[in-house]
């Protein structure tokens, strides 16, 4: 959107469908399968619908798009495995954050492969740093829950160090936004979202689970809605 590239309906279906399915797999199916509980009808139905939407979109994309989605799917499956306690890439010390960044950056940049090389590189870096910053409030929230063996960012840097890292990354993101956003109105929308994310990082880990699960996760949605509204009025 910021680069003047409209996201095709097929790509929207693929990203939404598989993203929705991945969320259900990680948050619902893995715990249920591991604990050998019964998977409910509606949960299965919603999962199948999300996969159907994803494959519908993917069926109209190129083979290279298929390979990217396949790679992200493998990473998602290996991120948390339902075959035993603490099995998966998320339990490898320090690796979790990089798996998430790689997966979401690849998904975000897939529609932008036609950008000039240097622009693509700068936008990719911005996407990766955005995802890292969005993860910091969750990492801070889970500081007391995560096993010390995971060596998460807050465990390595401490609460203060993690917040300072977040502030530094936000400053870099402001610069990258100035360099990459082509429409002035969209630039200010992104700056506003970065300020909200800065507040979220500052207030972590004191806030409730609702704060991170709703308000922090809502920042990208507000960003999308705000950008879409401005482009409509532009």
User: What's the pLDDT tens digit per position in 31-81?
Assistant: 777 776 777 888 889 999 999 999 999 998 988 899 999 999 999 898 888
Tens digits of residue pLDDT in 125-151: 999 999 999 999 989 888 888 888 888
Alpha carbon distance 76, 96 (integer Å): 11
83 shares its domain with 125: no
Residue 47 within a domain: yes
* Boundary-marking domain end, from 49, 76, 91: 91
Question: Structural domain tally of the chain?
Answer: 2
3-state SS, residue 233: helix
pLDDT at residue 125 in the model: 95
Question: Both 74 and 119 in a single domain?
Answer: no
Q: Is 96 among the domain residues?
A: no
Q: How far apart are CA 182 and CA 137, in angstroms?
A: 29
DSSP state of 147: -
What pLDDT score does 207 carry?
Answer: 63
Residue 163 has pLDDT above 90, yes or no: yes
Q: Model's pTM, two decimal places?
A: 0.86
> Of 91, 106, 125, which marks where a domain is finished?
91
Query: How far from 140 is each of 47, 97, 158, 231, CA to CA, in Å?
Result: 30, 13, 9, 35
Question: Three-state SS for 230?
Answer: helix
Q: Which residues contact 22 (CB under 8 A, 6 or more apart)?
A: 73, 76
104: pLDDT strictly greater than 60: yes
Same domain, 127 and 86: no
Would you say 153 and 204 are in contact if contact means Cβ atoms under 8 Å apart?
no
| Domain end marker among 91, 123, 151 | 91
Going from the C-alpha of 38 to that of each of 33, 86, 88, 167, 181, the distances in angstroms are: 8, 20, 22, 44, 48
pLDDT at 172 over 80: yes
- Same domain for 84 and 129, yes or no, is no
Evaluate whether residue 12 is within a structural domain.
Answer: yes
Residue 207's domain comprises 115-234
Residue 109 lies in a domain: no
Residue 173 has pLDDT above 90, yes or no: yes
* Res 15: pLDDT: 92
Residue 210 has pLDDT above 60, yes or no: yes
pLDDT above 70: residue 234: no
The pLDDT of residue 213 is above 80: no
Intra-chain end-to-end CA distance of the chain, in Å: 13
Do both 86 and 126 map to the same domain? no
Q: Are residues 144 and 183 in the same domain?
A: yes
Residue 84 covered by a domain: yes
- Write the CB contacts of 172 (distance below 8 Å, at least 6 apart in sequence): 129
User: Of residues 8 and 165, which shows the higher confidence score?
Assistant: 165
The answer to whether residue 211 sits within a structural domain is: yes
| One domain, residues 85 and 131 | no
């Amino acid at each position: 959107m910021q680069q003047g590239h409209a996201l095709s309906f097929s790509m929207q279906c693929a990203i939404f469908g598989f993203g929705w399915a991945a969320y259900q797999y990680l948050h619902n199916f893995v715990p249920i399968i591991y604990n050998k509980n019964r998977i409910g009808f509606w949960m299965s139905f919603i999962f199948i619908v999300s996969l159907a939407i994803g494959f519908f979109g993917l069926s109209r994309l190129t083979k290279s798009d298929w390979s990217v989605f396949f790679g992200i799917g493998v990473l998602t499956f290996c991120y948390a495995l339902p075959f035993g306690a603490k099995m998966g890439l998320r339990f490898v010390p320090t690796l979790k954050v990089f798996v998430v960044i790689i997966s979401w950056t690849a998904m975000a940049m897939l529609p932008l492969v036609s950008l000039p090389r240097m622009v693509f590189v700068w936008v990719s870096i911005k996407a990766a740093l955005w995802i890292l910053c969005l993860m910091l409030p969750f990492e801070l929230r889970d500081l007391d829950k995560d096993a010390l063996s995971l060596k998460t960012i807050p465990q390595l840097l401490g609460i203060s160090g993690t917040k300072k890292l977040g502030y530094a990354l936000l400053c870099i993101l402001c610069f990258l936004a100035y360099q990459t956003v082509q429409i002035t109105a969209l630039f200010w929308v992104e700056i506003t979202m970065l300020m909200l994310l800065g507040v979220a990082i500052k207030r972590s880990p004191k806030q409730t689970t609702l704060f991170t699960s709703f308000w922090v996760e809502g920042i990208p949605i507000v960003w999308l809605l705000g950008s879409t509204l401005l482009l409509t009025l532009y």
